[in-house]
Structure 1
């Protein structure tokens, strides 16, 4: 009986997190067929690292790569004009036969540098790793296993690793792994993406067991490299080149958030939605733009517009965590607005009713004061809340300190734990 090698196939489908909709039929066909061992090819990797002034992290990056590459793989390092100690660190690796170091002038174009690396690569597949990233152990072995399965799909495909940013946020749509076919090259001065020379469809697959850890967007690092200013300067020319592409407009809003004029930011996000239309391939940008508009309108105090965009987001991505988040947050903000209205009603009543219409609860209106205290507490105006409670206790209307002892204990433990972490 012929033995079928389905271990690689099972591993492939277990770790396949995302794939482009235009490849669904081939994926499902592969899922339903057994695979013979003779069908599986072995592939080699050209790992390319681009760096400039990366003395902080380049050695960490290269050591992680070195631990994971195979004997048939190669590492290509391209320095684009370092003035710190990066080149001195790179010199340590020149003696290794599978490490190749090049120096290339930086012309404000990330795609140009990546394509320079592609032309230098000699192995079957190309993997781009940024200098501020480290590859997790076994990632390359996992990749090679998956590539043997991808080969059976008989399509021009690229792969996306799981890029884990500081804080745990994972990005799985960055196309960093491409076949060395010399017909797929990168396009874009920044946030560049691989595109086939013949403009044909490019399929992508994302795997959760190919992991790169990234710390380049830690605030101190990002600020020191002026990444926001750099990215914005490189994105404007991309919009000029492809004015109808929602990608560049959205990325300008994302990278320029907080620096762009508010009206321009809002109008550009609206343009992204229009440019995307109903194109499934651009849905990612439409979803992000709608989500960002909800945040923008909430910040501007325009609840109605936020709610309108929320309804659009529910249609586009009903099961996305962001949709649930905005849905509940909009309701919370409406509740808080109502709290302010309730507070004002009580204050206005007390001002206009100097002689209170006695009720059965309390002839002095202390029950209204108690309610006012609760409302202030719910909108985090704690000083006003506890000032009222102190007045009520002095008037012997209730005992409130006992109610807040547990809160005091919890806050004290929380603050002391924070102080311990700082030490």
Structure 2
């Protein structure tokens, strides 16, 4: 009897490599790590494959919240058209041409009007209550659904229904700067009684308040809503800070809200001591509860603050703890390397001071076999300043060099660097 998703994938790969069941399973990212996703089938593998082949796909609603989205709503809706059985839009009384665009170009969408009450979950849950399908997928108005996704949402929904896996599904969202989010929780079955919670940074959870398993799939979405050239980040940040503070008051024992509060403060360039204290409070709460969602993110944001405030002793302590518990986190390697690089820079400055002392005492008539003018020492200092990005000091030393050969050597190096930079 098969008991987990990873084992099912392995068996299908050996015996039914061309089956639609295997092809749909392969839409799941890192399925080889899915030992924790349990399944329970008494049928033979062949019976499963045949049964799945005949199964119809469930219906899916696509939900969208809008307010003054005339810049992007047409692009968003064009990207999802014909992918879902119904599209429900709740518009919070837009004052621009958002509604006009929807009515003119997408008359078959269900357009509902609702006053904005500073609660994202309230509006998302209203769409859930209005949906007439088996599943629901949420997309933001500033998102674009990749053309390569054709049919994937239905295949994923069919697969998870067939395997009786209760979970939320995360598409892969790519930001304007190339950063990728894989824990986005946008697609789920309406039969599982999931509702959103949180006035901001909302996520779907079960009625009993437990957090569902997350499965990331090869559905690709593009997002430009955090692009500072497009969106007023100051206004967005102020709103998120206020809503997150409200959630802290509502759920004071939930460390998730402390993480997001600290993140919003950091993005708003607020006091680093306040941010650090909020994060430390969040970590203390995590130590007393089993749910570790956002725990790693909390620790990593604290690493960033400690590095920025030159608290390297505490940063090293935190990195050791992270290395033990999250050995596959590349940010640990980054911070360890950054600390080593910082140490190298400090040593370079010490070397410059050491060499400068030698130059500041000409009366001692120090002997040199290499160069009696001390140009070799000056050139070493020049290269150290250059390494540190101290361009003015480098140029001053270059101009004081007596050796034309050394000047020529440095110019060749600088010109080669310039040529390479021009290729970028």
TM-score (norm 2): 0.86
Runs (4 or more) in structure 1 with deviation over 6 Å come to 19-23, 27-30
Aligned residue for 1:243, secondary structure, equals coil
Distance in 1, matches of 2:357 and 2:27, equals 61
Query: CA-to-partner distance for each residue in 1:239-272, whole Å, 9 max, x for gaps?
Result: 1111221211111122221432211101112222
Aligned residue for 1:361, secondary structure, equals coil
- Tell me what 2:134 maps to: 124
1:82 is matched with which residue: 89, 94, 100? 94
CA contact (8 A) 1:20 1:205 kept: no
Going from structure 1 to structure 2, the CA distance change for 1:289 and 1:198 (only over 3 Å counts) comes to closer
User: Which of the pair has the greater relative contact order for Cα pairs under 8 Å at 6+ separation?
Assistant: 1
Aligned alpha-carbon RMSD (Å): 2.9
Q: Shift of residue 302 of structure 1?
A: 2.8
Distance in 2, matches of 1:353 and 1:302, equals 40
- Tell me what 2:7 maps to: none
- Tell me what 2:336 maps to: 327
CA contact (8 A) 2:272 2:309 kept: no
Query: CA-to-partner distance for each residue in 1:352-407, whole Å, 9 max, x for gaps?
Result: 56424324433443332222112111111122123213322xx2274332443353
Q: Shift of residue 201 of structure 1?
A: 4.8
2:60 is matched with which residue: 42, 45, 48? 45
Q: Structure 2 matches for 1:23-422, cutoff 5 A?
A: 24-26=36-38, 33=45, 35-39=48-52, 40-69=55-84, 73-93=85-105, 95-96=107-108, 99-139=109-149, 141-181=151-191, 183-208=193-218, 210-223=219-232, 226-257=235-266, 258-277=268-287, 281-282=291-292, 285-351=294-360, 354-392=363-401, 395-396=402-403, 398-411=405-418, 414-415=421-422
Q: Shift of residue 67 of structure 1?
A: 4.4
Aligned residue for 1:49, secondary structure, equals strand
Aligned residue for 1:158, secondary structure, equals strand
CA contact (8 A) 2:38 2:165 kept: no
CA contact (8 A) 1:166 1:214 kept: yes
TM-score (norm 1): 0.87
Aligned residue for 1:105, secondary structure, equals coil
Going from structure 1 to structure 2, the CA distance change for 1:188 and 1:353 (only over 3 Å counts) comes to same
Q: Shift of residue 47 of structure 1?
A: 0.4
Distance in 2, matches of 1:19 and 1:276, equals 28
Going from structure 1 to structure 2, the CA distance change for 1:142 and 1:409 (only over 3 Å counts) comes to same
Going from structure 1 to structure 2, the CA distance change for 1:365 and 1:28 (only over 3 Å counts) comes to farther
Q: Shift of residue 61 of structure 1?
A: 0.7
Distance in 2, matches of 1:18 and 1:252, equals 31
Q: Shift of residue 192 of structure 1?
A: 0.3
Going from structure 1 to structure 2, the CA distance change for 1:200 and 1:247 (only over 3 Å counts) comes to closer
Going from structure 1 to structure 2, the CA distance change for 1:293 and 1:225 (only over 3 Å counts) comes to closer
Q: Shift of residue 29 of structure 1?
A: 8.4
Deviates more, 1:120-129 or 1:5-14: 5-14
Query: CA-to-partner distance for each residue in 1:313-358, whole Å, 9 max, x for gaps?
Result: 3223222222222221211111001111221222234335642432
Aligned residue for 1:226, secondary structure, equals helix
CA contact (8 A) 2:173 2:223 kept: yes
- Tell me what 2:19 maps to: 7
Going from structure 1 to structure 2, the CA distance change for 1:176 and 1:157 (only over 3 Å counts) comes to same
CA contact (8 A) 1:136 1:212 kept: yes
Deviates more, 1:380-389 or 1:34-43: 34-43
Q: Shift of residue 25 of structure 1?
A: 4.7
CA contact (8 A) 1:276 1:285 kept: no
Aligned residue for 1:289, secondary structure, equals helix
Aligned residue for 1:212, secondary structure, equals strand
Deviates more, 1:57-66 or 1:303-312: 303-312
Distance in 2, matches of 1:243 and 1:353, equals 67
Aligned pairs, how many? 405
Q: Shift of residue 44 of structure 1?
A: 0.8
Query: CA-to-partner distance for each residue in 1:103-139, whole Å, 9 max, x for gaps?
Result: 0110000000000100100011000000001111242
Distance in 2, matches of 1:373 and 1:347, equals 11
Distance in 2, matches of 1:321 and 1:279, equals 26
